[in-house]
Chain A
Amino acid sequence: MSASTQTATGVGAVESRHLLEVTDLVMNFPVKGGGLLRRTVGHVQAVSGITFAVDRGETLGLVGESGCGKSTTGRAVLQLHRPTSGSVRFDGLELTTLPVRALREVRRDMQIVFQDPYASLNPKMPINDIVAEPFRIHGTWATAGPDRVAELLRVVGLNPEHGNRYPHEFSGGQRQRIGIARALALEPKLLILDEPVSALDVSVQAGVVNLLEELQERLNLAYVFIAHDLSVVRHISDRVAVMYLGKIMEIGGRDDVYDRPRHPYTQALLSAAPIADPTSQAHRERILLSGDVPSPVNPPSGCRFRTRCWKAQEICAQEVPALIPRAGSEPAHQVACHFAEVHAVV
């Protein structure tokens, strides 16, 4: 277990531990039937055993389409959902077994920024109060005070004089910045960013992405950047993990995954992503996947991608492919496919 974690980040011998180490994380949600007693009839296997690590100052991009479990992963790391099984070690501390009180303390070091700029802020609170809340919850308001709130607003590019206004008076991009300010209040080491720019206009996304990059440099933050937009992920990530139906299909350095993808799903994903350049669009290879994403309540046996994969063979249904380096890749680039092969698409 620890061996694979080390190889995942290219670290050879045992040395300084990673900021975040996730091992065999599993998250199942019960599906309740109807009737008076509402018994559990099945489980949504949202996340089915994933392993990765993130260091300070580094961004891990987590991509995948809807239902792949990336958002659930983010929340499970923060213990907003308690994982069904598996380990989440933050700064050496095991979080899954931590009692609630101790967890509250750890929450200062890891925070989350949400996707929806309209639903992630309490519409009845002025933004000064929204950004001040972390201090109030942890009892540091007396020492931190309004100055710190003003400073945080300035850091994210907002005018502190507008602090007494309400969320509905701000644009989507500005609200997202408020959410970032709130997440930064207690000086966390890790930020989970769950589709932070997907709901924003294109020209506004760039500003928020720049802000996130600058903050990461200044504060040595670790990011888990969850998104479905491959271009943004490519821009901001150091390493990328591609998820499908609750499992990681491919993980490695950014350039490795984008330029030398080895998993068929990654290749299909990259070929489908629209590029804002008509000439390269015209010359690009198109890989069109057939069928639909299977239900996470009843995922396919063996390799979960096999129902849509053009390389599928019998072994794919029988044996779950392990996430290991294959096809001549370096140790840090791992693929879960029996027939992994480099195929440049972009």
Chain B
Amino acid sequence: MSSEPSTAPPAPTVEREFTVVARTQAQMVRRRFFRHRGALGGMLVLLAIVVLAFSSIGFGPVHGWWHQSYDGSGDVVNGGSPTLSVLPKFLGGHGFSIGQHPFGQSDIGTDFFALTMRGAQQSLIIAFTVGLVSTLLGLLVGAIAGFFRGFAESVLMRITDVFLTIPLLVIAAIVAHKYGGAGIMALALVLGFLEWMQLARLIRGELLSLREKEFIEAARALGASGPRIIMRHLLPNIVGTIIVNATLTISSAILLETALSYLGLGVRAPDTSLGLLVSNYQTASTTRPWLFWWPGLFIIAIALSVNFIGDGLRDAFDPKQNRVRA
């Protein structure tokens, strides 16, 4: 039973059969991702923003390196205009300096850089929480529907359909009205509960097609139990979909939060967020544009970079083989 069958041609043939270096799926995905310039750029920008937002003014008990705080007030210097200058001297500027208030000051003298960073923190927390909650919910619903089929599937899919017809803003308005003061986590949870449907459908669809694949039948033929099949066989094959979808949810959550806060339905004082900042200072956009544009810029930067990352991930997980057999 263990004698080695003879191989007629010598070893070179065996080597020739492998046309690619041994790479795991994860390695291949990583490789493709890093080749996508937009995604790479997006990742760097997002990373920079996250690091800046959380390290500059600190978070929770940890202190930041920025000397101003976001909830202080004080004298308004020079109309509150930004002290950041980047134009080099030989071009007629003042050279590079940051100054006391690089983003300017609000009308009550709060350092606007700190305020913007605080807003960025909150917006990021909301967005990632929404991403997490909706992904978990969508995964749960989609997996149960796709795996168990039958009655459970019908019921879950009808529930999904109902949720899809709910106008998001209306619900958000109602919720915000009742629980407005409950803080950003409450808001994030509610939004998460309203954003899971797409992923649920996607996962159900993928599971439906995966179930027909013969390796699943093989596992059943070997006597594998249901949970084992889900964990070892189905989930690893849908990770790609999950990650991509989660990324895109985060991006849309940023914009959603912005819209809600802008309408007064999202984050409320004393909390702050980028959306709220934009909303509060929209009237100042002509007289003191820095109050409007700095938070706006960060919203755009975050949304764009997450989108690019999502694009890159989608391409990277694309199961197109890089082995061309003519």
Contacts and interface: CB of A to CB of B under 8 A. Distances in A.
Interface string A165-185: 110111100100001001000
Interface in A151-174: 151, 154-155, 157, 159, 162, 164-166, 168-171, 174
A159 B218 CA distance: 23
- Which applies to chain B's interface (DSSP): helix, strand, loop or mixed? loop
B285 interface: no
A133 interface: yes
A40 interface: no
Contacts of A283: none
B36 interface: no
B24 A107 contact: no
Contacts of A169: 18, 20, 22
A97 interface: no
B25 interface: yes
A182 B224 CA distance: 13
Given A138-B223, A166-B25, A174 B218 contact: no
A165 B22 contact: yes
A332 B23 CA distance: 54
A83 B13 CA distance: 46
A209 B223 CA distance: 26
Nearest to B22: A165
Contact of B219 (A133, A138, A165): A133
B197 to A, nearest CB: 20
Interface size class of A (residues with CB under 8 A): 35 or more
B223 A108 contact: yes
Nearest to B236: A124
B208 to A, nearest CB: 15
Contacts, number: 88
A120 B221 contact: no
Contacts of A126: 24
A342 B23 CA distance: 58
Given A137-B228, A164-B22, A169-B22, A104 B223 contact: yes
A168 B24 CA distance: 10
A78 interface: yes
Nearest to A165: B22
Interface stretch (A12-20, A110-118, A268-276, A306-314): A110-118
Interface size class of B (residues with CB under 8 A): 20 to 34
Nearest to B158: A36
B215 interface: yes
Contact of B215 (A122, A164, A166): A122
A159 B20 contact: no
Interface in B215-245: 215, 217-225, 228, 232-233, 236-237
Interface stretch (B1-9, B188-196, B199-207, B266-274): B1-9
Nearest to A156: B5
Contacts of B5: 154-155, 157
B89 interface: no
A169 to B, nearest CB: 6
Contacts of B170: none
A111 B215 contact: no
B299 to A, nearest CB: 37
A218 B1 contact: yes
B287 interface: no
Which of B5, B215, B323 lies at the interface centre, i.e. has the most chain A CB atoms within 10 A of its CB?
A: B215
B213 interface: yes
Contacts of B214: 114-116, 119-120
Contacts of B224: 133, 137
Which of B1, B22, B154, B222 lies at the interface centre, i.e. has the most chain A CB atoms within 10 A of its CB?
A: B222
A151 B25 contact: no
A119 B228 contact: no
B17 A122 contact: no
Nearest to A164: B22
A80 interface: yes
Contacts of B165: none
A134 interface: yes
Interface in A69-109: 75, 78, 80, 103-104, 107-108
Contacts of B225: 137
Given A107-B222, A166-B23, 7 more contacts: A112-B217, A114-B214, A137-B222, A137-B225, A154-B4, A169-B18, A179-B218
9 contacts: A111-B222, A112-B218, A119-B215, A122-B237, A124-B25, A134-B222, A137-B222, A155-B1, A168-B321
Interface of A: 38, 75, 78, 80, 103-104, 107-108, 111-112, 114-116, 119-126, 133-134, 137-138, 151, 154-155, 157, 159, 162, 164-166, 168-171, 174, 179, 182, 218-219
Interface pairs A-B: 5 shortest CB-CB: A120-B214, A124-B236, A104-B223, A107-B223, A114-B214
Interface of B: 1-2, 4-5, 7, 14, 17-18, 20, 22-25, 154, 213-215, 217-225, 228, 232-233, 236-237, 321, 323
